[in-house]
Structure 1
Amino acid sequence: MNDKLKNSELKSILIIESNEDEVKRFVDVVQNNCDAKVTSFKSSVEAILWLQNNFADIIILEEGLQPMSVTQTIEYIQNELGKNAPIFISSTKKSAKNDEKLLQKPFTLEGLQKLCNKKIEVKQDALHFSLDYLTEISDGNTEFICGSIEIFKTSVSEQILLLEKALENQDHKKVGEIAHHIKPSFEMLLNDEAAGLCNQLIYKFNASEAPVQIKELRKIFEKIKKELETDFTLKKS
């Protein structure tokens, strides 16, 4: 086993590949050179369902992916699921040496080394929240900050459900009232985008735009909640 690759940060690989022989070849290359676990699917839909509850350090998409194309799959993974793992496209075509996103088939040790190097270079996206305001008003009181965060996670979750229900019932007045209620919660964590969406629902309600705005509001909330459960936990420890 290649000790350099064995000790790399690459631990989980997701590959979407319809050719079983190519999958087997890839798994063999990985098992012979590092400790990464390989999860494989034949279709983009299966992979997306798996990614909803699982994590991959690297994602490899087969060129000509079906039923969703490579572009559609990448957009869904990054925008809808909020995953920022490096994504490679595998192809039998000859690739330019400087094409970092293309992975040559049949899979080789050289390709695996390319994946490991890319993993080390990954940069994390900026967080969707800040604790600066809570820290300032509490003089850094950890108990107060933790309590405020717990209230945010439970209260806003409930209120967004009510917001979605009010829209479903076409109760536009109620939509505005709920948005007004949750706006300070997003302002508390300094997320201007969510606060701006609340303002639109409160003061400039548009029946055709509201469903998209509420969906985006939920998406932002879920991202903040996920980040609070990871980044803030690490900071406390």
Structure 2
Amino acid sequence: NQMIARIIMEEAGIEVDTAANGKIAVDMVQDTNYDVVLMDIQMPVKSGIEATKVIRNELKLNVPIIAVTANALKGDKEKFMAAGMNDYLSKPFKLVELKSKIAGLTGRQEAVEDPSPIREVNNNRDATGKLCDLSFLQEVSNGNDDFVAKMIEGFLEHTPDSLEKITRHAENKQWDRVRAIAHKIKPSIDFMGLKSLEQDIRLIEEYADDQTNLVEIIALTQRLKEVCEQAMQQLRKELSQFAQ
């Protein structure tokens, strides 16, 4: 998810630093005068909310902070604002949304531009039977084939490990770990246009969080694994077309 956000911003000419966890994020904000901080709510060591409270209450810094979450539920916005954040984005977000938020917080109106017309990308390809709808990736990249190829490569690289872990944790009834991985891979499912899994991945996260419908979680994770494996086979073929 961090890689996806980074590539989206770098494609727009935004200079980006990334932190592996909330503690490192706090240290980086303390040492560097950033224009804006995108704060992932779910990070190891310190959560996004915990890191923001340190930045506001201990470091006394006023750098604009935008919460980034894959699951903006009712009441979350108020929670983010109470912690000291200035705004929030729900993943997956579009570049124009990010630019608008940054412009609103920094006063840099030049950051908001009407996106250039999206050119047709490989529009002669037959989408029948494809599990992934890449139109969202093509939209956020403004038809940049290299960008879409990087996203596919990242999905192919990282998804197998996540699938192995989530199915194993479900079989072992480690529901907190199931929920964490479901939350982690949910934006990737959305970005890759895996429409048939968008509801499933949200149900897995919800059921694991509430520890309800536990038998169904196991069935859903098995389906998640099977559909993703089929999709990855198709995406490997798709990559060769982007390379042409």
Q: TM-score range by the shorter chain?
A: 0.3 to 0.5
Structure (1/2) with the larger strand percentage? 1
Query: TM-score, normalized by length of structure 2?
Result: 0.44
Rg comparison, structure with higher value: 1
